[in-house]
Amino acid sequence: MPKEHSNFRIFYQSDFFLFAEKPSGIPVHATKDSKRENFSDLLQKQLNLPFLRTVNRLDLDTSGLVFFCKDPEKNKEADQILRTSVKIYLCVASGIIPEDRFTETCYLKDGNKRVKKVFSGGDKAVTEFVVLKRNSKENYSVLLAKLHTGRRHQIRFHLSEKGFPIVGDQVYGFSDKSLLGEKNKNTKPHLREFPKAERSLLHALGVSFFEREGVEEKILCPPPQDFRKFLEGISIDPSLFSEFSLK
């Protein structure tokens, strides 16, 4: 049975804009199935708004902050806010990532259900990562990811390409669970167990932006329950913004 969704949490709201928390398992927009619920329509109904435009989008499995514009005359301003904002995500990756900080860059081209790396004709994708925790016993790493570009699936693709796919990712994860380490030269290719999850453990955690000149807003959306067992020893608070430059 599909999950029932109601009473979405609003983390920021002004006269023209808002940030709300999307649960995992619900599409941001309407799909080809006209009977399928979507986050944007349900939120607009919940808030009884005559207009609500989704400024950014998240994958079906991804939870966290989604940016909306409430006034059609403010669409350009909303797009500018999105372009200049700092967007950070929380993710749980399979395996032990050796670097404390790293940046992944490539060119991506959209496909049907996934993206692929190309050497011409694609869009540049840049993601900066900071490792917050490593658990060698259970074989996972917890990271923050900062988007420098906004390509489809870019965080998921970058971690998979590096050899550490997001836990629960059915598209970019390992097709055979015994393969963990074989894509990664820093890990011996022996059989290893790694965590399981019902969905891809990726969460849109925080946004920092300037809506009004000289006034910075920092919004933090705590991760849902399925992240909790991975976050022991990690404080989810505004200090996480300081892990990255806010430029």
State the Cα–Cα distance between residues 24 and 71, nearest whole angstrom.
Answer: 26
Q: Residue 233 belongs to a domain with what CATH number?
A: 3.30.2350.10
- 203-210 mean pLDDT: 95
**Of 56, 84, 112, which one is at a domain's C-terminal end?**
84
State the pLDDT confidence band at 93, using cuts at 50, 70 and 90. Answer: very high
State the pLDDT confidence band at 4, using cuts at 50, 70 and 90. Answer: low
Identify whether the C-beta of residue 20 lies closer than 8 Å to the C-beta of residue 43. yes
DSSP-derived secondary structure for the chain: -PPP--SPPEEEE-SSEEEEEEPTTS-SS--S-TTS--HHHHHHHHHT-S--EESS---SS-EEEEEEES-GGGHHHHHHHHHHSEEEEEEEEES----SEEEEEEEEEE-SSSEEEESSSSEEEEEEEEEEEEETTTTEEEEEEEESS--TTHHHHHHHHHT-PBTT-TTTS-SSGGGTTTT-TTS--S-------SS--EEEEEEEEEEETTEEEEEE----GGGGGG-TT---SGGGGGGS---
Q: What percent of the chain has pLDDT over 70?
A: 89
**Of 64, 84, 104, which one is at a domain's C-terminal end?**
84
Q: Which domain holds residue 51?
A: 1-84
**Of 54, 84, 114, which one is at a domain's C-terminal end?**
84
Please give the pLDDT value at position 32: 81
**In this predicted model, what pLDDT tens digit does every residue of 14-26 receive, in sequence order?**
999 999 999 999 9
**In this predicted model, what pLDDT tens digit does every residue of 99-130 receive, in sequence order?**
999 999 999 998 888 999 999 889 999 999 99
- 84-88 mean pLDDT: 94
State the Cα–Cα distance between residues 232 and 59, nearest whole angstrom.
Answer: 26
Please give the pLDDT value at position 194: 85
Number of domains the chain is built from: 2
Query: At residue 213, what are phi and psi to the nearest 5 degrees?
Result: -55, 125
